[in-house]
Each structure stands twice: as structure tokens, then as C-alpha cells.
């Protein structure tokens, strides 16, 4: 397992972040704990959870808390604000999460989603309070437009408050909207980018093949996005399979390598519901793509954001090298 510096924090985290969303729901407590212990033994030190995971509020966090007891001080643990994003909710949420996780602090505390009418000053002041209280080492956001994250950190800089150091986002071969301004902004300001849904809920893991029956025990039975994407991008999935077969690797290996090869991405979150999936996920980090191969794989799916313009403005919003980091990060 390789380790990377997590944005501007100076902290070293494993290149793979283990997602725990299925723990307590599709995976029982005993197996969830075994999976987490195995991941830790394999070198994973970055774990992502949330109060709303696990079917019942706080169920997953309680399981994670039991699993990490023997190695809490050796890992990087992230969770998210529950309830709203007013000051009261931000402070109450972390206290409740810490109790369920049976720990004194988080390493990273995310605002899960922006809300219409949100007050940036209230959010950042509340996050600063939990940092200064020692309840979390760092704060971040999830699913923010680039301008909202920049405005949030600008407010913090002007007022001497803790800044957001990480951004958790959906990104994969099918969902590429974050390539417009979000990833370039993160790269130039050295914001750690943590990717969720890197394999599009299993669609880019070889679990679903066009023309073949959908497995009975799969998420596709409860989430209609999978069937829709399978229909829309079936040709690309077959091309991805052929590309993987030519190199003696799996579709999963290629899909994860495509995410990892982005200069703006820090870590993909690999969510698993079995020990077998964990083993395949860890193995996927052994395969890499060249820049040329990354471009080729991306071309299998007609998903790059398209902008009609009379000049070169559109591509500028996706250019990861337009501005140098110096002085900003």
C-alpha cells in the first residue's frame, strides 16, 4: 500500500480509503469488523464513515468504533455532519459521532452537503470551534461547487479560522462534472480530493455486463441508476472489458487506475460489502495507467463535459495546469 500526503495537512494517508457505508446494512457487525481489521493489516490507514450510514442512524459509526479500538491512534478517521449545517447542528453532530465512535477526536470532519440559503460565516465559525476544542484535527466539505469552497476558505483566511483542507466528490468514468473548475481549483490550492463512487456503484467493477442478467443480490435491484447507466454506457463497458483483458487485469483495476491517475485526486474511497471485494479493491492499486492510456480509457465513454462556445473558454475550466500552486498552497 502506497501512502500520500493529504493535501496541505502534512499527514500521510494510504492511497486507498476504506468506505464503510455498507457496514451494519449489507454487512453484519462481525464481518464488518473483520473487514476493517484486514484492511488495516494490509496497510490501509484511512477510513471514511458517517452517522447516516448503516440503515439506522449511527449504526455504522458504532461498528467502526468497535473495530478501531486497538489502532485508533494509528489511523486517519473521517466522518460527516449530520442534521443541518447551522452552528448548533455542526457542534451537536460531532459530539454524537464521537460518542458512537468511542473516540475523543476525528481526524477529518466534513460538511456532507451544502444547503440552499446556507450561511458561510456560521458554518466556518462553527467548524473552527470544533477544531479549537480538539474534537477534530481538520475540516472539509463534500459535494461543494468550487466557488462555495473558495468563498468558505476565503472567509476563514480573512478571519483567522480553520480552513477546509479536503473535498469529497463523486467522480468516475461516467460522472465527470467535477472536472469543470472543481478539480482544477483543488489542485492549485492543494485541497485533498477524496473520491466517492469511483466504480459507479459496481458498474465499473465488472459486476454488470450488457446483455447479462443483473445479479439478484446487487444494488441494481434497489437503485435504478445502475440499470439506466448500463443501458446508456453498455458499449463503453465492453470496450473497458476488452482493454482490461488485453492487459491481464480486471475492469475494476482499470477503473480505479483511471481515477488514481488524475493529478488532482488524492484518494478514492473503496466501499466493500465482503472480504472478497476488499481483496480485489486492494489488488487494484497495483495497476497503473500512462497518461495516454488514461485518455484512451476516458474516450470509451462519451461523458466528458461538453460546452458550446465560440472560443477556448470551455477547456480553460478543466485545465489542471492553468495556474501554478506557488503562493496559494
Q: Which residues are known catalytic residues?
A: 53
Residue with cell 479493491: 281
Give dist(CA 34, CA 46) in Å, integer.
Answer: 16
CB of 100 within 8 A of CB of 61? yes
Q: How far is CA 218 from the centre of its chain?
A: 21
Q: Which of 220, 235, 110, 95 is nearest to 168 (CA)?
A: 110
Q: Which of 48, 88, 89 is nearest to 268 (CA)?
A: 48
Residue with cell 496559494: 328
Give dist(CA 278, CA 231) in Å, integer.
Answer: 27
CB of 77 within 8 A of CB of 40? no
Pairing status of strand 106-111 against strand 136-142: parallel
Q: Which of 122, 40, 137, 47 is nearest to 84 (CA)?
A: 122
Q: Which of 158, 153, 148 is nearest to 189 (CA)?
A: 153
**Residues whose CB is less than 8 angstroms from the CB of residue 13 and which lie 6 or more positions away in sequence, other chains included:** 3, 4, 6, 45, 46, 76, 266, 267
Q: For the chain, where are the E strands, in sequence order? A: 3-5, 12-14, 17-19, 46-48, 76-80, 106-111, 136-142, 164-170, 192-196, 267-271
Amino acid at each position: 500500500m502506497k501512502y500520500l500526503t493529504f493535501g496541505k495537512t502534512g499527514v500521510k494517508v494510504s492511497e486507498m480509503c476504506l468506505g464503510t457505508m455498507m457496514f451494519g446494512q449489507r454487512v453484519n457487525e462481525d464481518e464488518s469488523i473483520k473487514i476493517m481489521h484486514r484492511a488495516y493489516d494490509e496497510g490501509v490507514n484511512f477510513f471514511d464513515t458517517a452517522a447516516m450510514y448503516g440503515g439506522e442512524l449511527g449504526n455504522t459509526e458504532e461498528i467502526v468504533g468497535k473495530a478501531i479500538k486497538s489502532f485508533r491512534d494509528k489511523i486517519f478517521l473521517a466522518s460527516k455532519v449530520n442534521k443541518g449545517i447551522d452552528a448548533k447542528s455542526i457542534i451537536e453532530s460531532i459530539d454524537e459521532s464521537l460518542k458512537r465512535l468511542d473516540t475523543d477526536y476525528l481526524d477529518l470532519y466534513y460538511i456532507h452537503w451544502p444547503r440552499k440559503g446556507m450561511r458561510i460565516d456560521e458554518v466556518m465559525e462553527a467548524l473552527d470551534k470544533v477544531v479549537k476544542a480538539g474534537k477534530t484535527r481538520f475540516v472539509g466539505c463534500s459535494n461543494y461547487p468550487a466557488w462555495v469552497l473558495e468563498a468558505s476558505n476565503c472567509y476563514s483566511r480573512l478571519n483567522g479560522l480553520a480552513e477546509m483542507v479536503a473535498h469529497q466528490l463523486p467522480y468516475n468514468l461516467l460522472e465527470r462534472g467535477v472536472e469543470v473548475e472543481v478539480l482544477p481549483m483543488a489542485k492549485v490550492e492543494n485541497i485533498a480530493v477524496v473520491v466517492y463512487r469511483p466504480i459507479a456503484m459496481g458498474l465499473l467493477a465488472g459486476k454488470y455486463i450488457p446483455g447479462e442478467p443483473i445479479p439478484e443480490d446487487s444494488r441494481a435491484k434497489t437503485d435504478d441508476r445502475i440499470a439506466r447507466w448500463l443501458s446508456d454506457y453498455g458499449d463503453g463497458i465492453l470496450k473497458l472489458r476488452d482493454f482490461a483483458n488485453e492487459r491481464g487485469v480486471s475492469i475494476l483495476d482499470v477503473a480505479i487506475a483511471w481515477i488514481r491517475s488524475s493529478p488532482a485526486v488524492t484518494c478514492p474511497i473503496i466501499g466493500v460489502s465482503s472480504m472478497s471485494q476488499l481483496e480485489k479493491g486492494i489488488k487494484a492499486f497495483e495497476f497503473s495507467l500512462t497518461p495516454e492510456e488514461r485518455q484512451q480509457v476516458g474516450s470509451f465513454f462519451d461523458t466528458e463535459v461538453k460546452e458550446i462556445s465560440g472560443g477556448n473558454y470551455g477547456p480553460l475550466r478543466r485545465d489542471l495546469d492553468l495556474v501554478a500552486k506557488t503562493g496559494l498552497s
